[in-house]
Amino acid sequence: MRILAVSGSLRAGSYNTTLARAAVELAPAYVDAELYDRLAEIPPFDDDADGEDAPEPVRDLRARIEAADAVLFVTPEYNGSTPGVLKNAIDWASRPPRGQAALWGKTVAVSGATTGRYGAIWAQQDLRRVLGIAGARVLEGELPVSRAHEAFDEDGRIRDSALVERVREHVTKLAAEAGVARHVALAA
């Protein structure tokens, strides 16, 4: 079972990247989880640049999504929605359309962290909608982490045991749902 964790933040010291890293570490032992770290390299979406000669970072993103059984997207909230760099990556991963894209049928989950009180809940809702339109199998529910500046210690570890358990449950549910989807696909 492979899970790819994608943080929608480019900021060094990002709480969302810290949350994604924690999710990778808290994944069940049977899960091979990895953190995607090339978001900044993906150029703005350009349909004219797509196809067999798509930019290498785009081909890499698509290949890593295709190789994963599931993807965990972790989003900050900018102006009440997902950041442009994350939406841009999803735009690339949603092409080509009609069942051939890396995201098509992929089991995905969302989470997010902010320093505010709501834990990027609006961004997560928008992200769930965009991923669903892109053809992904989006798990119900979000994982909001509010007051993120207090949630992690200086080493990036989650301070609160209840949050550790919520993250572990979120990743475990994602892995279980991806396993069900894989089983159904093999049976078909």
Give the H or E element holding residue 149: helix 148-151
Q: Would you say 85 and 115 are in contact if contact means Cβ atoms under 8 Å apart? A: no
Bridge partner list, 3: 33, 70
Q: Does the CA dihedral 89-107-123-39 come out positive or negative? A: negative
Interval 82-112: pLDDT, tens: 999 999 999 999 998 667 899 999 999 999 9
Q: How many CB atoms lie within 10 A of CB 52?
A: 5
Mean pLDDT of 158-177: 96
Does pLDDT of 13 surpass 60? yes
User: Angle between the 121-133 and 84-93 helix axes, to the nearest 10 degrees?
Assistant: 20
CA distance 66 to 71: 10
Name the burial class of residue 100, with classes exposed (0-12), middle (13-18) and buried (19+) by CB atoms within 10 angstroms of its CB: exposed
Domain of 66: which CATH number?
Answer: 3.40.50.360
What is the count of structural domains for the chain?
A: 1
pLDDT above 90: percentage of residues in the chain: 88
Distance CA 86, CA 98 (A): 21
Which domain covers residue 177, as residue numbers? 2-187
Nearest to 26 by CA among 171, 133, 176, 158: 171
Of 124, 122, 115, which Cα lies nearest the Cα of 151?
A: 115
Q: How far apart are CA 177 and CA 108, in angstroms?
A: 9
Q: Give the least confident one: 11-15, 51-55, 101-105, 122-126.
A: 51-55
The amino acid that residue 83 corresponds to is P
- The per-residue pLDDT for 19 is 97
Tokens of 71: 């993807």
Q: How confident is the model at residue 59 (pLDDT cuts 50, 70, 90)?
A: very high
pLDDT level of residue 180 (50, 70, 90 thresholds): confident
Does residue 183 register a pLDDT over 80? Answer: no
Q: Contact 33/27 with Cβ under 8 angstroms?
A: yes
Q: 0.85 exceeded by the pTM?
A: yes
Q: What is the pLDDT of residue 181?
A: 65
On the question of pLDDT at 42 being above 60, the answer is yes
Residue 139's SS3 state is coil
What is the percentage of the chain residues whose pLDDT exceeds 70? 95
